C-alpha cells in the first residue's frame, strides 16, 4: 500500500500557472512588478467585488504591517487582536512598537468574542488610551461575527483590520471575506487555499489607500528623478513570477473551495455517529466557509479517554499530518505579559481541538487511509 505522507494542506496547482510564468520569462518580466501583478490584482478585485482595491504584496504578514501603518498605528499605541490566531496576526503590532491587547474567542466561530472585545475597549479607554485598531481573524475560513464586531468598531470609532489570510473564498451574507474591514488582508502562502508560493495582498476601500500601501511597499520613493525619501519604506511588493502562479490559481479558486468543503463533509460523515467528536462548522446559513482547514473538537469524557494528542500520534504513525489548533497568543512566551480580556474559551479550544488533512488535492485512497486510522481508534474506544 502507498504510505506517502498526507499533508494538512499542500499546494495544489490548477494547470495554467506555468503558462503565466512562461509569459513572464518570454517577455523578460522577471523583475518585480509587471503584467502578472496587475492581472492578479484585477482578478482579485473582480472576485471580491464590493468596490475594493487590491495591492499584491510579498506576504500576508507584510499586508498586516502596512495595514497597521495605514491606520496610523505608532509606537506606544494599543492594538486589539484576537488571541486565537497565527502569530503573524500579532507580530506586526510589535514591529511598530505598539502594544497588543488580546481578546478571547466565542464558541460559535472561534473568533473575536464581542463581549470580551467591548469590555476591553471600555477598560482601555478608562485606563487612558483608546485602542487604535482591532485585528479580527476568520479562523480556518469561518467568518467572525461580522455584524456584532463591525457594530462595536463603529460605536467606538475604531477601524477594523480584517485578517482574511485563511478566508479567501469565504463570505458572510453573500459578501466576500476580505472586504469587511477598513483594511483587508489576504495570504497566498504555500499552505493557504491558493498559493503564489509565498505572497499576500492588502485590500482597501479607496484607490488612495491602495496607492499609499504600494508607495510604502516600494521603498517610499518620492516623485523625483533621483532617489529621494521622506518616509520610511519597505520592500514588500510581489514579484511578477509569483503573481503568474497566482493568476493560474485564481482560475481554480472556486473549484478548490468546493473540494475543501467536500473534505469537511467527509469528516462530518465520518464522525456523525460518534458522540465525543464534533467537526467545526459555521453557525448558520449567513456564514459560508471556504473550509481552509477542517478541525475537530474532542470531548474525552465521551470518547473513553481518546484525546486530541492520542489521535495526532495515531495519525502520525500512519504518516498523516495533523496539528493542534493555533495556540492562543496570550499563552505564548513572547506575548504573555500583554493584557488579555476574556475567559478560557480559546485555551479550551486549543487543548481539545485538532486540525485534520484538508487539502483540495487529497485522493479517495488518501481519504480511506485517514478513515481507517479513525475507525481503528474509535472501535477501540467505543
Ligand atoms: C497565514 C496567515 C497570516 C500570514 O500570512 P503570510 O502570507 O504567511 O505572511 C496571517 N494571519 C493568519 C491568520 C494566517 O493564517
Angle at 85 between CA 80 and CA 88, to 5 degrees: 80
pLDDT in the model for residue 378: 86
- The pLDDT assigned to 214 comes to 96
User: What is the model's pLDDT at position 381?
Assistant: 54
Q: What is the pTM of this model?
A: 0.96
Ligand 1 center to residue 89 CA distance, Å?
A: 7
Residues 6+ apart with CB under 8 A from 365: 2
The CB density around residue 115, as the number of other CB atoms within 10 Å, is 16
Ligand 1 atom nearest 187 alpha carbon: 7
Rounded to the nearest angstrom, the distance between the alpha carbon of 232 and the centre of ligand 1 is: 23
- Ligand 1, atom nearest to 89 Cα: 11
pLDDT given at position 235: 96
Which residues does ligand 1 sit against, CB inside 6 Å?
59-61, 85-86, 88-89, 137, 163, 165-166, 187, 189, 200
* Among 55, 61, 188, residue to substitute to test ligand 1 (most atoms within 8 Å of Cβ): 61
Q: How many CB atoms lie within 10 A of CB 258?
A: 13
DSSP string, 260-317: HHHHHHHHHHHHTT-TTEEE---SSTTEE---SSEEEEE-TTTTTT--HHHHHHHHHH
Reading the block at residue 344, the C-alpha cell is 478560557
Query: Domains of the chain, with CATH numbers?
Result: 17-252 (3.40.640.10), 254-380 (3.90.1150.10)
Query: Along the 382 residues of the chain, how does pLDDT read in single tens digits?
Result: 678 999 999 999 988 999 999 988 888 888 767 899 999 999 999 999 978 999 999 999 999 999 999 999 999 999 999 999 999 999 999 999 999 999 999 999 999 999 999 999 999 999 999 999 999 999 999 999 999 999 999 999 999 999 999 999 999 999 999 999 999 999 999 999 999 999 999 999 999 999 999 999 999 999 999 999 999 999 999 999 999 999 999 999 999 999 999 999 999 999 998 889 999 999 999 999 999 999 999 999 999 899 999 999 999 999 999 999 999 999 999 999 999 999 999 999 999 999 999 999 999 999 999 999 999 998 765 4
Distance between Cα 312 and ligand 1 center (Å):
23
Q: What distance in Å separates the CA atoms of residue 3 and residue 316, rounded to the nearest whole number?
A: 12
Taking alpha carbons only, the member of 146, 111, 115, 93 closest to residue 335 is 93
Instruction: Give the position of cell 508560493.
Output: 197
Give the model's pLDDT for residue 328: 98
At 308, phi and psi to the nearest 5?
A: -55, -40
Distance of CA 192 from the midpoint of ligand 1 (Å)? 8
Question: Cell for 363?
Answer: 485522493
Give me ligand 1 centre to Cα 375, in Å: 33
Which residue owns the Cα nearest ligand 1 atom 14?
165
Which atom in ligand 1 lies closest to the alpha carbon of residue 61? 9
Model pLDDT, residue 29: 81
Query: Which ligand 1 atom is nearest residue 199's CA?
Result: 7
Using CA atoms, how far residue 297 sits from 140, 143, 144, 264, 268, in Å, is: 14, 18, 18, 14, 12
Nearest Cα neighbor of 298 from 341, 347, 342, 351 is: 351
Which residue's alpha carbon is nearest to atom 11 within ligand 1? 89
* Kind plus residue range of the DSSP H or E element containing 225: none
Sequence-separated (6 or more) residues with CB below 8 Å from residue 108: 145, 283
Amino acid at each position: 500500500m502507498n504510505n506517502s505522507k498526507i499533508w494538512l494542506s499542500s499546494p495544489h496547482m490548477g494547470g495554467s500557472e506555468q503558462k503565466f510564468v512562461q509569459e513572464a520569462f518570454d517577455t523578460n518580466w522577471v523583475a518585480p512588478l509587471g503584467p502578472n501583478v496587475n492581472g492578479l490584482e484585477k482578478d482579485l478585485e473582480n472576485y471580491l467585488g464590493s468596490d475594493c482595491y487590491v495591492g499584491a504584496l510579498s506576504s500576508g504578514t507584510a499586508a498586516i504591517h502596512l495595514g497597521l501603518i495605514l491606520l496610523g498605528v505608532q509606537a506606544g499605541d494599543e492594538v486589539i487582536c484576537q488571541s486565537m490566531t497565527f502569530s503573524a496576526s500579532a507580530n506586526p503590532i510589535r514591529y511598530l512598537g505598539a502594544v497588543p491587547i488580546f481578546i478571547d474567542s466565542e464558541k460559535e466561530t472561534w473568533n473575536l468574542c464581542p463581549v470580551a472585545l467591548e469590555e476591553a475597549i471600555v477598560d482601555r479607554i478608562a485606563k487612558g488610551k483608546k485602542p487604535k485598531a482591532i485585528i479580527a481573524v476568520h479562523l480556518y475560513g469561518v467568518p467572525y461575527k461580522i455584524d456584532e464586531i463591525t457594530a462595536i468598531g463603529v460605536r467606538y470609532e475604531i477601524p477594523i483590520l480584517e485578517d482574511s489570510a485563511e478566508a479567501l473564498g469565504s463570505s458572510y451574507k453573500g459578501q466576500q471575506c476580505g472586504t469587511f474591514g477598513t483594511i483587508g488582508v489576504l495570504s497566498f502562502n504555500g499552505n493557504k487555499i491558493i498559493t503564489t508560493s509565498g505572497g499576500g495582498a492588502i485590500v482597501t476601500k479607496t484607490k488612495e489607500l491602495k496607492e499609499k500601501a504600494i508607495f510604502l511597499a516600494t521603498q517610499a520613493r518620492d516623485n523625483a528623478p533621483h532617489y529621494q525619501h521622506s518616509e520610511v519604506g519597505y520592500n514588500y511588493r510581489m514579484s511578477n513570477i509569483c503573481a503568474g502562479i497566482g493568476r493560474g490559481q485564481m482560475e481554480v479558486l472556486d473549484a478548490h473551495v468546493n473540494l475543501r468543503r467536500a473534505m469537511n463533509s467527509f469528516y462530518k460523515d465520518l464522525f456523525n455517529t460518534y458522540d465525543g467528536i464534533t467537526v467545526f462548522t459555521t453557525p448558520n446559513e449567513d456564514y459560508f466557509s471556504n473550509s481552509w482547514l477542517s478541525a475537530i473538537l474532542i470531548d474525552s469524557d465521551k470518547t473513553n479517554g481518546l484525546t486530541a494528542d492520542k489521535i495526532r500520534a495515531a495519525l502520525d504513525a500512519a504518516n498523516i499530518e495533523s496539528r493542534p489548533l493555533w495556540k492562543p497568543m496570550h499563552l505564548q512566551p513572547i506575548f504573555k505579559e500583554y493584557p488579555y480580556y476574556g475567559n478560557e474559551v480559546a485555551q479550551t479550544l486549543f487543548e481539545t481541538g485538532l486540525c485534520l488533512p484538508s487539502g483540495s488535492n487529497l485522493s479517495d485512497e488518501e481519504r480511506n487511509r485517514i478513515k481507517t486510522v479513525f475507525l481503528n481508534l474509535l472501535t477501540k474506544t467505543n
